[in-house]
Homo-oligomer: A and B are copies of this chain.
Amino acid sequence: MDQKSSITIHDIARELNISASTVSRALNDNPRISKATKEKIKAKALEMGYQPNTIASNLRNQKTNTIGIVVPLINRHFFSSFISGVEDVAFAAGYNVIISQSNDLLEKEKQIVHSLFSNRVDGLIASLSMQTDEFDHFQLFSKKEIPIVFFDRVVPELEAHKIVVDDFMVGFKATEHLIQQGYKRIAHLAGPTVLHTYRDRMAGYRAALEKNNMPIDEELIIYSRLTRIDGRDAIQQLLALPQPPDAAFCGNDTSALAMMVYLKKIGMKIPQDFGLIGFSDEPFSEVVTPSISTLKQPAFEMGLKAAELLIQEIESKNRLSKHLTITMPTELIQRESSSRIR
């Protein structure tokens, strides 16, 4: 005897011989409704198995209690941890989260952003695709003053809030750490320099060398997409130099791992013969042998922060006129791959 078509507030109203608006108000705990009728209505709603229709309410209220997320790929530790943080805050504040992945394709990112807009999300959290070099699609949101928070992959051109880490300091701290451990010729495996994040890290690398009066040798800087294959190719190329390096700061842990695997294969001792440090503290970095030194990016906390900021913006009547850039701390995690001293 299951009611296949849904029960609405009108059904409840009819049963109780009252108006639908009263039912609506009671269900929303409007103070103008007497306690008695409220209880009567709620009891009836329960009895009839009433389930509110959020879409109808959304349409009427011009508010969906939904936030959209766009990331390059869900299935990556940094992004899934970030999303997990967002989801925690969002859920606690009564928001749903719609997630989409761009697969690092600009065209898909555009489609997603349009779709999220059409779904009238109350706010957007996004990390740009690797291909993204135009930003018109985000104007949709800014034009209508729907708040956006960018994170990780951001560009200065964007007029929006941002959650980032201090990439310059990342490069600086990583490099200086290697110097302190006594390494003399330090290479850098850089990511695509179209992305600021990689440019800044490289700048930090250079600054650390300069500060310590070490020469900057352009031969020791290799540009790549930081895949495993890139890491292996890079270390081969570096070792073939007339004066090969004795350490490397890699743009991510994946490429650092690839270097390590190769170095072990050809019989080099880590960290004695060669020092390594990566970035982002992937789960594997702690458990490989030797364990990989790295800088930890607080993905989950960044997600919390992004969601807090976004929801605050959504719910405040007067928006922050200024766009915030929140810089999250990174933590250097020293492990075996760079611990030459003691």
Interface residue ranges, A against B (CB under 8 Å): 2-4, 6, 51-56, 58-59, 64, 66, 73-77, 80-81, 83-84, 87-88, 91, 96-101, 108, 112, 114-115, 117-120, 140, 143-145, 257, 261, 282-284, 287-289, 300
Question: In the docked arrangement, what's the CA distance between A282 and B73, Å?
Answer: 17
Chain B nearest CB, measured from A304 CB (Å): 13
- 6 additional contacts (CB under 8 A) given A55-B64, A75-B83: A54-B115, A74-B83, A96-B119, A98-B98, A284-B284, A288-B288
A51 touches B114 (CB 8 A): yes
B140 in contact with A51 (CB, 8 Å): yes
| A54 vs B120: C-alpha distance when bound (angstroms) | 7
Cβ contact within 8 Å between A96 and B84: no
A4–B73 Cα distance when bound, in Å, is 32
A74 contacts which of B6, B80, B284 (Cβ < 8 Å)? B80
Beyond A55-B120, A80-B74, whether A100 also contacts B99 by CB under 8 A is: no
A59 cross-chain contacts in B, Cβ below 8 A: 53, 55-56, 59
Q: Give Cα distance in the complex from A144 to B6, angstroms.
A: 8
30 contacts across the A-B interface (CB closer than 8 A):
A2-B143, A2-B144, A3-B143, A4-B143, A6-B144, A51-B140, A52-B118, A53-B118, A53-B120, A54-B120, A55-B55, A55-B59, A55-B120, A74-B74, A74-B80, A74-B83, A75-B83, A75-B84, A76-B80, A87-B99, A87-B101, A91-B100, A91-B112, A96-B100, A96-B115, A97-B99, A97-B100, A261-B287, A284-B288, A288-B289
Nearest Cβ in chain B — how far from A289, in angstroms?
4
Q: For A118, give the chain B residue with the smallest CB separation.
A: B54
Which residues from B are CB-within-8-Å of A88?
101
Which of A54, A73, A77, A261 has most B Cβ within 10 Å? Answer: A54
10 nearest CB pairs, A to B: A75-B84, A284-B284, A80-B80, A289-B289, A54-B118, A75-B80, A75-B81, A2-B143, A74-B84, A54-B119
Which of A3, A75, A88, A144 has most chain B Cβ within 10 Å? A75
> B145 contacts A4, CB within 8 Å?
yes
A108 to B91, CA, bound (A): 10
A77 to B80, CA, bound (A): 9
User: A257 with B287: in contact, given A96-B98, A96-B115 (CB under 8 Å)?
Assistant: yes
The chain B residue with its CB closest to the CB of A299 is B75
Would you call A55 and B119 a contact (CB within 8 A)? yes
Q: In the complex, what's the smallest C-beta–C-beta distance from A235 to chain B, in angstroms?
A: 16
Q: Whole-angstrom distance between the alpha carbons of A4 and B66 in the complex?
A: 20
Shortest C-beta distance, A287 to chain B (Å), equals: 5
